[in-house]
């Protein structure tokens, strides 16, 4: 992909909201509580898929709001942990992308939506990419000629990166954008277990989020048959205070990993980056309270040594915040929304340039 060009990113630089935007904690907490201001509610259709393991998977499909864009592009979005198409930051980004002529598809992580029942013994995990692969396959059946750009937020960034690095993927996928992922679940979890700088607070919130999803569907996930099959103890699941404890009591047993560390290592996208054959952009903030600096060094080195990869690091932005403008009240559209849409446009332009170059070379030969 080469070095970033000025046209790849918004021409207006990133200026955080002045009163609180220079704090990663404020950015992250406001993102988790408020999401986005003046958030639109895009209109789309919900697609239901029955998977081979008995799971019911859904994704929401949104058509572009303008038809002046020549390319047929579908942005395949994978949200963060416990998030879905109904999450405020996803809705804002989808609407902004629609306004720029892109079709969007948003994966709804299994177990997250109250309106969709869990029909198998599992919910989503950190590293299983089959759900995302099923959405991509469904999209290509609906739109065989579309080109797909994969976009993942936080956990979703890990999933799309791992998905693209696991195997040969459809040629229609022309690139990916990963935002605020941690790359290495083993190291990230060890870091979040520390008490300094509110790390355990964030880990507690993440743990309770996943635990609430499990308990919400416990009539299926914790039925007598499932508990016996996987040797699950509901008391241990309910008492888990950290993600490693919850994953020991539930996740690694359901997915049959010998240890939690084995599951985390298998799930970490860092172990799959070298096999990615598409242009990739990785975006992180240095003040992200969920992703320490030492997790960013490996992806920096990867991007520096792979010409189809680009790493973008901002001093501020927190975890999925990137609010900008104003003294107290930020702009409705964040720097992140603007930047990701611009990066998608850059990936599309690079793909088209490559096609032209190949056609020219074949004519010369």
CB 76 within 8 A of CB 149: yes
Bridge partners (DSSP) listed for residue 57: 49
Nearest to 151 by CA among 125, 123, 180: 180
Nearest Cα to 14, choosing from 296, 345, 334, 283?
Answer: 334
Let me know: does 346 contact 7? Beta carbons within 8 Å: yes
Burial class (CB in 10 A: 0-12, 13-18, 19+), 100: middle
pLDDT at residue 359, rounded to an integer? 78
Active-site residue (options: 31, 217, 319, 351)? 319
pLDDT of residue 6: 36
Q: What is the pLDDT of residue 334?
A: 93
H or E, element range at 264: helix 260-267
3-class state of residue 151 by DSSP: strand
Per the annotation, the verdict on 319 as an active-site residue is: yes
Q: What contacts 137, CB < 8 A, 6 or more positions away?
A: none
Q: Burial level of 144, CB count in 10 A (0-12/13-18/19+)? A: exposed
Q: Which of 133, 135, 177 is nearest to 158 (CA)?
A: 177
**For residue 226, which phi and psi values (nearest 5 degrees)?**
-65, -40
Tokens linked to 275 = 């096999």
Q: Which of 178, 288, 350, 351 is catalytic?
A: 288
From the candidates 154, 161, 267, 268, give the one annotated as an active-site residue: 154
User: How far apart are alpha carbons 104 and 85 in whole angstroms?
Assistant: 10
Show me where the domains of the chain are located.
24-183+272-358, 185-267
Residue pLDDT tens, the chain, 365 long? 443 333 346 546 798 998 889 999 889 888 877 777 678 889 999 999 999 999 999 999 999 998 877 789 999 999 999 999 999 999 999 999 999 999 999 999 999 999 999 999 999 999 999 999 999 999 999 999 999 999 999 999 999 999 999 989 999 999 999 999 999 999 999 998 887 767 888 999 999 999 999 999 999 999 999 999 999 999 999 999 999 999 999 999 999 999 999 999 999 999 999 999 999 999 999 999 999 889 999 999 999 999 999 999 999 999 999 999 888 888 888 999 999 999 999 999 999 988 888 778 766 55
The per-residue pLDDT for 237 is 97
Just give the CATH number of 24-183+272-358: 3.40.50.1820
DSSP letters along 307-354, please?
Answer: TTEEEEEESS-TTTT--BSSSSS--SS-HHHHHHHHHHHHHHHHHHHH
């Amino acid at each position: 992909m080469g070095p970033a060009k000025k046209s790849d990113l918004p021409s207006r630089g990133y200026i955080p909201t002045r009163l609180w935007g220079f704090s990663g904690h404020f950015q992250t907490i406001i993102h988790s509580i408020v999401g986005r201001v003046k958030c639109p509610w895009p209109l789309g259709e919900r697609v239901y898929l029955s998977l081979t393991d008995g799971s019911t998977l859904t994704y929401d499909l949104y058509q572009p709001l303008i038809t002046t864009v020549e390319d047929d592009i579908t942005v395949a979005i994978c949200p963060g942990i416990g998030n879905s198409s109904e999450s405020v930051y996803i809705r804002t980004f989808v609407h902004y992308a629609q306004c720029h002529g892109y079709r969007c598809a948003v994966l709804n992580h299994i177990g997250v939506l109250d309106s969709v029942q869990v029909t198998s013994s599992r919910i989503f995990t950190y590293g299983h990419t089959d759900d995302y692969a099923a959405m991509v396959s469904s999209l290509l059946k609906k739109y065989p000629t579309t080109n797909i750009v994969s976009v993942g937020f936080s956990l979703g960034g890990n999933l799309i990166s791992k998905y693209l690095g696991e195997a040969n993927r459809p040629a229609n996928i022309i690139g990916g954008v990963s935002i605020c992922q941690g790359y290495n679940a083993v190291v990230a979890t060890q870091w979040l277990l520390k008490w300094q700088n509110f790390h355990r607070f964030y880990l507690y919130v993440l743990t309770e989020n996943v635990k609430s999803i499990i308990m919400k569907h416990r009539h299926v996930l914790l039925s007598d048959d499932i508990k016996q099959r996987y040797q699950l103890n509901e008391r241990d699941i309910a008492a888990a205070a950290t993600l490693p404890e919850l994953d020991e009591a539930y996740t690694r047993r359901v997915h049959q990993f010998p240890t939690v560390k084995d599951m985390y290592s298998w799930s970490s996208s860092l172990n799959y980056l070298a096999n990615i054959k598409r242009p990739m952009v990785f975006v992180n903030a240095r003040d992200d309270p969920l992703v320490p600096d030492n997790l960013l060094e490996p992806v920096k080195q990867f991007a520096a040594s792979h010409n189809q990869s680009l790493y973008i690091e901002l001093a501020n932005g927190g975890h999925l915040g990137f609010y900008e403008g104003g003294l107290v009240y930020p702009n409705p559209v964040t720097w992140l929304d603007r930047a990701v849409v611009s990066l998608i446009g850059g990936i599309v332009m690079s793909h088209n340039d490559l096609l032209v170059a190949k056609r020219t070379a074949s004519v010369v030969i």
